[in-house]
Structure 1
């Protein structure tokens, strides 16, 4: 029996019928907008060189002896002004290094766990460290250091907690900043294995893109995203909106309070499911709290893509909303055979609101 989606903040909504077209930009405008977003996968020589260097630096760290790696982190902490103690491996309780920071403002007793991982650190490891922190009477904060990366759920978990996550790229930056250049000497001097062939593989993730939505006026609207294969959502868990803030893998997340944007989605395009080839963006009126609301107040909308570090944002200006609709499809990202993501405005209006948009992409919703 197919599952249903809890769309409304207060009740389930019934199935609806079909799409109602708004306007589409002309072909010249669409081509210009598609080109704006093509740099999502910027395959320039400089970018390839930067990523290859990062991969190799992380490989050198991953290839270190575990004890040597822990000692390196301890030396780094000392270089940052801390008094450090390496814990006994037989009774560390999940703690590899302890440090005391005497700074009167940011100081405290720090417990540090290091993980030489080539894949993403699991959220359970982050939760375990938090449990260790809670049971350690002396510690005031915790740090988890890895040669790989952390997923979005781990970052969400530590929000507001005295835990710092340091990924591989950040660790490389700290080591270089504090003078540990000898760690990466093999790469500079062409020593054995410097080409990376004799070193372990390591995961390096692209920076997530930010999809920012701006509009004028006082009305509030919700943003939603459907991760699809063609015109069908992968599952009801791949609808990201106010009742479901993230996809199961964290590749698409709804973020509140991001700068001056009216709404924000964080999207890791490289981490989207392999069978997904489309990401659909929808705006909807909050008819649950404002029954007479329509898309008429959705004026001057602009979708802004901030693709990540060292890349300029791209802007697409969209058509105003219409009073006959309570939801509006803003456009879609499509993955081509080369793995590039291109954006097409593809505007459409839904008199039946977000539930009509959801049904159009193969999901089912019901009345309470």
Structure 2
């Protein structure tokens, strides 16, 4: 108990930073008019993507992949075998051969499209992973199907966020023109289902050691189920509301969290960092230096940053903090640190999950 309290005191920010935390981590509900304006702009942005020429849209995805550091090849339509873009990610640890299929849809993508892409991946001797990109959204059954498979589902809101993050603002110039929108200049564009843009929870630290990030989706202090522990062996909750993403920009680790899509009974999301003791039995949290959690809540909103205490050699996992749903529906973050000498296993047991030894 004393270790937990000591870590908590070390993590307490000064008055100005605490005030900034409370302001920035109140999640995405500034006021009704602001939210309505953001949603209307997102609809216009996705309408512009949906109205693009198919070849032009595939070219945009290829340019985005290049901006993310990949070597890219657009496939010939006569022999693409269901693959629109091929990419090679040169990262020596997270990289590989990626096949990408794009769906300019206005409605939810059917699970059959996800299963078809998995079939293509299995029969492609060169590919190691697949990405399905859409202008609309995916349903829970699609997210359940890709769990544990080397497939990433990228919905329209996430695509817009990535395009803006990598500098493709010109694509959405017309959507930003409020005067044109008020004049009805975009009225002729098709209607589209809009998915909520997930928040990106980034974890940064210094040093050479590798650490894993995990999330527990809870009611109070009890995890909802084994499937609601998101970590390296389970990359997503069944509904896709919390997903682990590898290779996101320069972050050491990244979680995508759609707070609005979390089950109604969920009121807490716990974030944990853990040493890779499975591959490195002697590893501890001692190399977890200068850690910071960064919440990118969405396009057009300022990122929130919380600096945390360094890890201790006596621990092999560390609770970094938690998001709590308030009665108003807002989510607020608390940097509540605690050390676990028994690693991620001990942390999981503390939140009501059973661990069966192999």
TM-score by length of structure 2 reads 0.65
Higher mean alpha-carbon deviation, 21-30 vs 204-213, is at 21-30
Greater RCO, 1 or 2 (C-alpha within 8 Å, sep 6+)? 1
Tell me the distance in 1 between the aligned counterparts of 2:58 and 2:291. Answer: 49
Residue in structure 1 matched with residue 282 of structure 2 by the alignment: 292
Match of 1:49 among 32, 37, 44: 37
Residue 109 of structure 2 corresponds to residue 109 of structure 1: no
Deviation at 1:260, TM superposition (A): 2.0
Residue in structure 2 matched with residue 234 of structure 1 by the alignment: 224
Residue in structure 2 matched with residue 213 of structure 1 by the alignment: 203
Task: Specify the SS of the correspondent of 2:26.
Answer: helix
Residue 8 of structure 2 corresponds to residue 24 of structure 1: yes
C-alpha distance 130-50 of structure 1, shift in aligned 2 (>3 A): same
Aligned runs of 1:3-42 on 2, under 5 Å?
Answer: 20-25=4-9, 26=12, 28=15, 30-42=18-30
Deviation string for 1:143-178 (max 9, x for gaps)?
999774235849979x999x998849989x9xx979
C-alpha distance 282-109 of structure 1, shift in aligned 2 (>3 A): same
2:4 touches 2:337 (CA, 8 Å); kept in 1? no
Residue in structure 2 matched with residue 335 of structure 1 by the alignment: 325
Deviation at 1:318, TM superposition (A): 0.2
Deviation at 1:19, TM superposition (A): 9.2
Task: Specify the SS of the correspondent of 1:304.
Answer: strand
Match of 1:360 among 350, 353, 357: 350
Tell me the distance in 2 between the aligned counterparts of 1:132 and 1:247. Answer: 24
Deviation at 1:122, TM superposition (A): 3.3
Unaligned 5+ residue runs, structure 2?
Answer: 60-72, 83-101, 124-130, 164-169, 176-180
1:126 touches 1:154 (CA, 8 Å); kept in 2? no
Match of 1:270 among 235, 238, 260: 260
Task: Specify the SS of the correspondent of 2:7.
Answer: coil
Deviation at 1:296, TM superposition (A): 1.5
Residue in structure 2 matched with residue 99 of structure 1 by the alignment: none
Q: CA RMSD in A?
A: 4.8
Tell me the distance in 2 between the aligned counterparts of 1:338 and 1:303. Answer: 24
Tell me the distance in 1 between the aligned counterparts of 2:135 and 2:294. Answer: 32
1:20 touches 1:350 (CA, 8 Å); kept in 2? no
**Higher helix proportion, which one?**
2
C-alpha distance 24-78 of structure 1, shift in aligned 2 (>3 A): closer
Tell me the distance in 2 between the aligned counterparts of 1:289 and 1:239. Answer: 20
Count of residues in correspondence between the two structures: 295
Task: Specify the SS of the correspondent of 2:197.
Answer: coil
1:221 touches 1:286 (CA, 8 Å); kept in 2? yes
- Deviation >6 Å, runs of 4+: 56-59, 78-82, 110-114, 129-135, 143-147, 154-157, 163-166, 168-171
Residue in structure 1 matched with residue 137 of structure 2 by the alignment: 149
Residue in structure 2 matched with residue 243 of structure 1 by the alignment: 233
Residue in structure 1 matched with residue 194 of structure 2 by the alignment: 204
Residue in structure 2 matched with residue 348 of structure 1 by the alignment: 338
Deviation at 1:55, TM superposition (A): 5.0
Tell me the distance in 1 between the aligned counterparts of 2:316 and 2:58. Answer: 57
1:19 touches 1:350 (CA, 8 Å); kept in 2? no
TM-score by length of structure 1 reads 0.63
Deviation at 1:39, TM superposition (A): 4.6
1:329 touches 1:346 (CA, 8 Å); kept in 2? yes
1:114 touches 1:144 (CA, 8 Å); kept in 2? no
